[in-house]
Amino acid sequence: MNPTTKKILHIAVPSIVSNITVPLLGLVDITIVGHLGNASYIGAIAIGSMLFNMIYWIFSFLRMGTGGMTSQAFGRHDLPEVTRLLMRSIIVGLFLALLLMLLQTPLRLVSFYFIDATREVEDMASLYFRICIWGAPATLGLYSFNGWFIGMQNSRFPMFIAIAQNLINITASVTFVFLFGMKVEGVALGTLTAQYAGLFMAIFLWMRYYGNLHKYLRREHLFERHAMLQFFQVNRDIFLRTLCLISVTVFFTSTSASYGDITLAVNTLLMQLFTLFSYIMDGFAYAGEALTGKHIGARNSRELQSTIFRLFYWGIALSLLFTLLYGMGGTDFLSLLTNDKSVIDASKQYFFWVLAIPLVSFSAFLFDGICIGATKTNIMLYSMSVATICFFFTYFGLQDLLQNHALWLAFIIYLGIRGITQALFLRKHKLIPIFAYKHF
């Protein structure tokens, strides 16, 4: 196996496993309350999980920004800066977690103002929220650790942590609900337990395998002005980029609902095929992030170009594979998700859009990883801004003519524009293999 490919897979495969385990945390909670005999419990957990997914998604810059800057410092063999980056990220994460906990009441009230739910579901979802909000320090702290581990070319530790969290979540939730007779609060406590268990496991792994770095834990240069400016600039770009991504995602779902229950169900199910593909490509994006930063830090242009070339080799190959798999068995996969024949039949008129997703979108995922590793997060923000504008312009320009097809067309254009604009911006920085460059 090619050495570069081996390095990519060494990071990508554990990252893919970690990505796939993420939705299992919410799925476990839904499954447990689904056996309590009251549909309101399912609705409460679904709403509560959705709220925290959205909140924590906004702060995902802690993982991405930390990973990109750490990988460059690792490539430079700058161990003091490697250590300081983790400390900066953890301190910022804990500060943001403190704000979330202090502002939990207005945050909860504002969130539920926009959610149309029955009084019973809202009360139980509020209970879930009030318990799980205390997991903010654990979740944001784990973002910092996971980003740092990936920056250190180690995606195995995040995978181990994710698997452990799922096992602990299952055990704790089942114990609280079925042994102690709790309902929604039992599931919330199970989730909270798993979150802190994940954080403590990350701390243990760091101390066990990176404990020799403790000698660099000094105050001097920790809050050095230039370093902090770069830290916040990188994270600001990712934060704003995430807001654009959320706006498209929320609009897609809410607009799908406006076309009726069948169309909402169809779009939701078809989106699962995009989500599945994104889990795979995100794994390779993480590999691109870690290796790009490492090679830029080491000023190794040959390895950088080889890595990017191999990443796109895998991206094209996997895109063709997923297109083939979706073309041959996509509708059968939908049958596993629902037995509603009307939904499956209705999905057939939109299924060709799903076939376009892999080849149109894979470059956006890979370029995201490359930009993070190169700390060119302004490129990510610019491209996402252009793509978001194109998404809304396309939909509102064609909605009367194409209706739900306009929504899918806008989404496909949005994915494609992200990749195209990033390629154009990166060309100026000569980070694409076909464009030679002499320095960084």
239-284 confidence digits (pLDDT tens): 999 999 999 988 998 888 888 878 888 888 888 889 889 999 999 9
Question: Do 211 and 230 have their domain in common?
Answer: no
pLDDT value at residue 116? 67
Return the exposure string of 41-66: e unless at least 16 CB atoms fall within 10 Å of the residue's CB, then b. Answer: bbbbbbbbbebbeebbeebbbbbbbb
Rounded Cα–Cα distance for residues 169 and 191 (Å): 6
**pLDDT bracket for residue 435 (50, 70, 90):** very low
Question: Do 228 and 202 have their domain in common?
Answer: no
Query: Is pLDDT at 433 greater than 60 in this prediction?
Result: no
Question: Do 241 and 364 have their domain in common?
Answer: yes
Question: Do 210 and 307 have their domain in common?
Answer: no
pLDDT value at residue 338? 66
Min mean pLDDT across 19-23, 143-147, 190-194, 358-362 is at 19-23
Amino acid at 42: I
State which of 194, 223, 252 marks the end of a domain. Answer: 223
Rounded Cα–Cα distance for residues 9 and 307 (Å): 11
Question: Do 210 and 334 have their domain in common?
Answer: no
Min mean pLDDT across 164-168, 201-205, 386-390, 409-413 is at 164-168
Question: Do 292 and 190 have their domain in common?
Answer: no
State which of 223, 257, 277 marks the end of a domain. Answer: 223
pLDDT value at residue 429? 65
Average of pLDDT values for 107-131?
Answer: 85
State which of 223, 244, 272 marks the end of a domain. Answer: 223
Question: Do 362 and 396 have their domain in common?
Answer: yes
Question: Do 192 and 337 have their domain in common?
Answer: no
Rounded Cα–Cα distance for residues 250 and 228 (Å): 32
Average of pLDDT values for 168-188?
Answer: 91
Q: Is 286 exposed, middle or buried (0-12, 13-18, 19+ CB in 10 A)?
A: buried
Helix axes 301-337, 3-33, angle to 10 degrees: 30
Structural domain count of the chain = 2
> 47 lies in which domain range?
1-223
Average of pLDDT values for 169-175?
Answer: 93
Query: Is pLDDT at 438 greater than 50 in this prediction?
Result: no
What residues contact 17, with CB distance under 8 A and at least 6 apart? Answer: 159, 162, 163
Question: Do 171 and 252 have their domain in common?
Answer: no
- Give the rounded percent of residues in the chain with a pLDDT score beyond 90: 62
Tokens 């997060």 sit at which residue? 377
What residues contact 120, with CB distance under 8 A and at least 6 apart? Answer: 40
Question: Do 211 and 327 have their domain in common?
Answer: no
Question: Do 184 and 283 have their domain in common?
Answer: no
Question: Do 215 and 347 have their domain in common?
Answer: no
